Amino acid sequence: MRRAGGTVILRGQPYNVGLSDANLSKMELCEKIREQSFVFLESSIGEDPDKRDYIVSNEKIGKVGFTPA
């Protein structure tokens, strides 16, 4: 067990740490970028070798009382 700023973290446990409000899928990120761009070009580049496309949960670390500053 370890304390980090008053928060108890259990040793040997993995935790995701981040802002849930800033958690976007790849497609959502592309849409946000397109909203800000004056010129947006789209082209097929084949298959994406990085198959990860999911929302990361910060719920576990939130349950122990941690909140990002």
**What digits encode the pLDDT tens for the residues 3-61?**
555 666 677 888 888 777 777 877 888 888 888 866 777 788 888 888 877 778 888 88
Q: How far is Cα 7 from Cα 4, in angstroms, rounded to an integer?
A: 5
Looking at residue 64, its pLDDT comes to 81
Q: How far is CA 64 from CA 18, 25, 37, 57, in A?
A: 14, 26, 40, 14
Looking at residue 7, its pLDDT comes to 61
Every domain of the chain and the residues it spans: 19-42+55-64
Looking at residue 2, its pLDDT comes to 52
Looking at residue 58, its pLDDT comes to 85
Looking at residue 4, its pLDDT comes to 53
